Amino acid sequence: MVKICCIGAGYVGGPTMAVIALKCPKVQVVVVDISTPRITAWNSDQLPIYEPGLDDVVKQCKGKNLFFSTDVEKHVAEADIVFVSVNTPTKTQGLGAGKAADLTYWESAARMIADVSKSDKIVVEKSTVPVKTAEAIERILTHNNKGINFQILSNPEFLAEGTAIKDLFNPDRVLIGGRETSGGQKAIAALRDVYAQWVPIDKIICTNLWSAELSKLAANAFLAQRISSVNAMSALCEATGADVTQVSQAIGKDTRIGPKFLNASVGFGGSCFQKDILNLVYICECHGLAEVANYWKQVIKINDYQKTRFVNRIVSSMFNTVSGKKVAILGFAFKKDTGDTRETPAIDVCKGLIGDKAKISIYDPQVQEEQITRDLALKKFDWDHPVHLQPMSPTSVKQVACVWDAYEATKGAHGICILTEWDEFKLLDYKRIFDGMEKPAFVFDGRNVVDAEKLRKIGFIVYAIGKPLDA
Q: Which stretch binds ligand NAD (CB under 6 A): 85-93, 290-298, 383-391, 416-424?
A: 85-93
Pick the closer one to ligand NAD by CB: 157 or 238: 157
Per CB under 6 A, the list member of 28, 88, 234, 410 interacting with ligand NAD is: 88
Pick the closer one to ligand NAD by CB: 115 or 405: 115
Pick the closer one to ligand NAD by CB: 123 or 327: 123
C-alpha distances in Å from residue 464, one per residue of 101, 241, 426, 451: 35, 12, 14, 10
In angstroms, how far is CA 278 from the centroid of its own chain?
14
Residue 36, annotated as binding a ligand:
no
Cβ density class 329-354: b for 16+ within 10 Å, e for less: bbbbbbbbbbbbbbbbbbbbbbbbbb
Query: Of the listed 272, 350, 402, 417, which one is catalytic?
Result: 272
Q: Which stretch binds ligand NAD (CB under 6 A): 22-30, 86-94, 144-152, 418-426?
A: 86-94
**x/- string (CB under 6 A) for ligand NAD, residues 28-47?**
----xxxx--x---------
User: Quick one: DSSP state of residue 34?
Assistant: S
Q: Rounded to whole angstroms, how far apart are CA atoms 356 and 346?
A: 15
Residue 310, annotated as binding a ligand:
no
State yes or no: residue 4 binds ligand NAD (CB under 6 A).
no
Per CB under 6 A, the list member of 272, 284, 402, 464 interacting with ligand NAD is: 272
Strands 28-32 and 326-330, by their bridges, are unpaired
Per CB under 6 A, the list member of 22, 122, 154, 161 interacting with ligand NAD is: 161
Residue 128, annotated as binding a ligand:
yes
Minimal CA–CA distance to 436: which of 461, 413, 402, 405? 413
Asked if the peptide bond before residue 440 counts as cis, ω within 30 degrees of 0, the response is yes
Residue numbers 111-150 binding ligand NAD by CB under 6 A: 127-128
Q: Is 272 designated active site?
A: yes
Pick the closer one to ligand NAD by CB: 160 or 286: 160
Pick the closer one to ligand NAD by CB: 205 or 242: 205
Q: Which stretch binds ligand NAD (CB under 6 A): 156-164, 395-403, 438-446, 447-455?
A: 156-164
Please report how close the Cβ of residue 280 comes to ligand NAD at its closest, in angstroms. 13
Residue numbers 239-268 binding ligand NAD by CB under 6 A: none
Size of the site for ligand NAD (CB under 6 A): 27
Residues sharing a CB contact under 8 Å with residue 36, sequence separation 6 or more, in sequence order = 70
Residue 342, annotated as binding a ligand:
yes
Cβ density class 71-101: b for 16+ within 10 Å, e for less: ebeebbbbbbbbbbbbbbebbeeeebbbbbb
Please report how close the Cβ of residue 435 comes to ligand NAD at its closest, in angstroms. 40
Residue 56, φ and ψ in degrees, nearest 5: -65, -45
Sheet with 400-402, strands from edge to edge, namely 400-402, 359-363, 326-330, 415-418, 442-445, 461-464
Helix (H) or strand (E) holding 206: strand 204-208
Per CB under 6 A, the list member of 18, 72, 330, 417 interacting with ligand NAD is: 72
Q: Rounded to whole angstroms, how far apart are CA atoms 159 and 170?
A: 10
Pick the closer one to ligand NAD by CB: 73 or 405: 73
Residue 312, annotated as binding a ligand:
no
Pick the closer one to ligand NAD by CB: 92 or 181: 92
Per CB under 6 A, the list member of 271, 274, 279, 399 interacting with ligand NAD is: 271
Q: Rounded to whole angstroms, how far apart are CA atoms 99 and 268?
A: 18
Residue 456, annotated as binding a ligand:
no
Residue 62, φ and ψ in degrees, nearest 5: -60, 130
Instruction: List residues bridging with 326 in a β-sheet.
Output: 359
Pick the closer one to ligand NAD by CB: 37 or 147: 37
Q: Rounded to whole angstroms, how far apart are CA atoms 353 and 347?
A: 10
Q: Which stretch binds ligand NAD (CB under 6 A): 10-18, 179-187, 236-244, 256-264?
A: 10-18
* Angle at CA of residue 456, ends 425 and 452, nearest 5°: 45
Binding site feature residues: 8-13, 33, 38, 86-90, 127-128, 161, 272-275, 342
Q: Which residues define the annotated binding site for NAD(+)?
A: 8-13, 33, 38, 86-90, 127-128, 161, 272-275, 342
Q: Which residues are catalytic?
A: 272
| Interface residue list for ligand NAD (CB under 6 A) | 7-13, 32-35, 38, 72, 85-88, 105, 108-109, 127-128, 157, 159, 161, 271-272
